Structure 1
């Protein structure tokens, strides 16, 4: 009888957060392939033995760093989505968080790493998606359903509406990030794009008084 392969597991300890912060800096600087365990351990101020005791696989370490940062960003947006405030206010805040994270050095850096390494390690991009975009999408859907129940919005396909709003917030920003870098996204540009996304979304789904 064939034995089932056991996947390596993460073990937490006193220096767990220290290792994550060191890994975050090295992954952003060198990419997944270029990041060495030696450099990560040195940046984190721990021994390689300590690092491996927490993360026996570099892919696990990369995914944990990405998941933690994405969850933090989604939580910040989720706090506003959970308030039940008016759609214009909530969508404006959530849209701003979406674009700010997407255009940040961390967010865009990890996006590029996932694209570069995705074919070789599909679990990386899947894990990044589940920890960030999918989590935010689900929380936005929950808010939209509440707004419909309150009579503030008129939506039938909540998944589609949530995806539409997220894409509206990106507009040309994502393409400009790819070809021009983060310098293209000024605060004015972000606000202009998000404000336009909110207006267009409400023009389609808002309840006319």
Structure 2
């Protein structure tokens, strides 16, 4: 009678039990089922992609889009050409990833606006200051320079950057103005237009600082004046005036005592 090999003892398992997460090569404390090897590959891939983008950003800034080649990016980033093409199909795709990545970073970094804040002028003033501080970032300023330099080749690039970076904030501002219009018994003709103008003015001020280095940021009083002008342009007025044909016209939040 042939002797069958004796099963290897598994001191971590009781008879009839199933393999644990540890025995399958996973650590349940990590909160995922991804093996260590795959996690290391993902981390290495992320670092390589970041290295490519950092190198490309400097080369594009120095040479412009037309004057930049993949060979130059390879030399500056220290990543092989084959690796660059593994992540990006072309120079256009690499350039687009730079712009999109910075827009997404801005969108994720911007604070929310409190829908319960009773004072639109104060809420928007503080939000504007926060936006300007977020945009006053070396990488953002470099990105704006790249966009300006590439507009002749990619005329839609500036609008795409504004939409991807400030678009979510525009939606939040419009929703906030609608909430306050109901709560404060005021009328806003076009909350979306007011939110769009707010975002455009924020980006325009930072872009002006790119074109005029050393230009100072707006003071808090200047921010307040800008916000009140935006609300005035949005035709903010008391609902009773609108219903009874009042001619008081647009009023600022201070006039309305919200």
**TM > 0.5:** yes
Asked if the contact 2:178–2:191 (Cα under 8 Å) also holds between the matched residues in 1, the reply is yes
Cα distance between partner residues in 1 of 2:95 and 2:189? 38
Post-superposition shift, 1:57? Answer: 1.4
Aligned to 1:148: 181
Aligned to 2:112: 80
Cα distance between partner residues in 1 of 2:61 and 2:169? 23
Task: Name stretches of at least 5 consecutive residues in structure 1 with no aligned partner.
Answer: 1-11
Aligned to 2:224: 195
Post-superposition shift, 1:52? Answer: 0.9
Cα distance between partner residues in 1 of 2:65 and 2:185? 45
Cα distance between partner residues in 1 of 2:98 and 2:155? 16
Aligned to 1:92: 125
Asked if the contact 1:19–1:51 (Cα under 8 Å) also holds between the matched residues in 2, the reply is yes
How many pairs does the alignment contain? 192
Structure 1 pair 155/56, CA: closer, same or farther in 2 (3 Å)?
same
Match of 1:51 among 60, 84, 102: 84
Post-superposition shift, 1:172? Answer: 6.8
Aligned to 2:249: none
The 5-angstrom pairing of residues 172-187 of structure 1 reads 174-175=207-208, 177-178=210-211, 180-181=212-213, 183-186=214-217
Aligned to 2:51: 18
Larger Cα Rg: Structure 1 or Structure 2? 2
Structure 1 pair 92/176, CA: closer, same or farther in 2 (3 Å)?
same
Post-superposition shift, 1:28? Answer: 3.1
Asked if the contact 1:84–1:143 (Cα under 8 Å) also holds between the matched residues in 2, the reply is yes
Asked if the contact 1:18–1:44 (Cα under 8 Å) also holds between the matched residues in 2, the reply is yes
SS of the residue corresponding to residue 80 of structure 1 reads coil
Post-superposition shift, 1:51? Answer: 0.8
Post-superposition shift, 1:105? Answer: 4.2
Cα distance between partner residues in 2 of 1:51 and 1:67? 17
Cα distance between partner residues in 2 of 1:117 and 1:173? 18
Task: Name stretches of at least 5 consecutive residues in structure 2 with no aligned partner.
Answer: 1-41, 237-252
Structure 1 pair 164/46, CA: closer, same or farther in 2 (3 Å)?
same
Post-superposition shift, 1:89? Answer: 4.5
Aligned to 1:68: 101
Structure 1 pair 56/168, CA: closer, same or farther in 2 (3 Å)?
closer
Aligned to 1:208: 257
